[in-house]
Amino acid sequence: MPKDYAIELYFDAALENQVLKVWNILARRQVSTLLIEIGARPHISLCFPTSTDLDQTKLRTLLESFAAQERPLAVTFTARLGIQLGGFYQPGSWFPNCPVAQELPKDRVGDAFNALRDLKLPLKGHICSIGLVDLSSSNNQFVYDLGTSNA
C-alpha cells in the first residue's frame, strides 16, 4: 500500500510558537485537537506525493539544493479562518495556508470562529526550512534550513 507524504515549509521559532498558541486555544476550548494529537508541526503544505511516485533519493537532493539556494522568506498571516473545501493542491490552483484545525465537524465551525475572534493579527515571521513528512506518522523524513548547506 502506498504511503502518503507532504512537502512542507516550516517557520522560524517565534512564528511556529504563535501558531502553536492558536492550536492550543482551539484545544482548550475542545474545538480541535487533531494537529496536536498527531504531532504535526505548524507549516504550509506544498504538495502531497505518494510513495508510488516518490523517489526519496532524488527528492532529498532536489530539496537540499533548493534550500541551499533560497533564503528565508517573510510570511504574514492575515486571514482569521479559512474553510478548505478541496482542490487547493491542484495544478494552477495552489492556495497557501497554515492549518489551525483539521477534520473540524460542521457544527464546530462557529466555535472555531469564536475562539479565534480575538486573535491578534497579523502573525508575521519567516519560512526557514523545507522538508518531507510521512503523513502516516507525522515524522519528518528530512528537513533542510533555507540559505544553508546542511547534511
Sign of CA dihedral 46, 84, 81, 111: negative
**Is 88's pLDDT higher than 70?**
no
Q: Domains in the chain and their CATH numbers?
A: 5-145 (3.90.1140.10)
pTM as predicted: 0.85
3-state secondary structure of 124: strand
**Is 143's pLDDT higher than 60?**
yes
Please give the mean pLDDT across all residues of the chain. Answer: 85
The C-alpha atoms of residue 38 and residue 136 are separated, in whole angstroms, by: 9
Task: Answer for the pair 10, 74: CB distance below 8 angstroms, yes or no.
Answer: no
pLDDT band at 138 (very low <50, low <70, confident <90, very high): confident
Per-residue pLDDT tens digits for 56-73: 889 899 999 999 999 999
pLDDT for 151 equals 45
pLDDT for 44 equals 92
- Number of C-beta neighbours around residue 95 at 10 A: 10
Task: Answer for the pair 34, 97: CB distance below 8 angstroms, yes or no.
Answer: no
Helix, strand, coil content of the chain in percent (nearest 5): 30, 25, 45
Per-residue pLDDT tens digits for 1-37: 567 888 999 999 999 999 999 999 999 999 999 999 9
Per-residue pLDDT tens digits for 94-126: 667 788 888 888 898 888 888 888 788 888 999
Task: Answer for the pair 8, 127: CB distance below 8 angstroms, yes or no.
Answer: no
Task: Tell me how far the alpha carbon of residue 43 is from its chain's centroid.
Answer: 2
Torsions phi, psi for 145 (to 5 deg): -75, 140
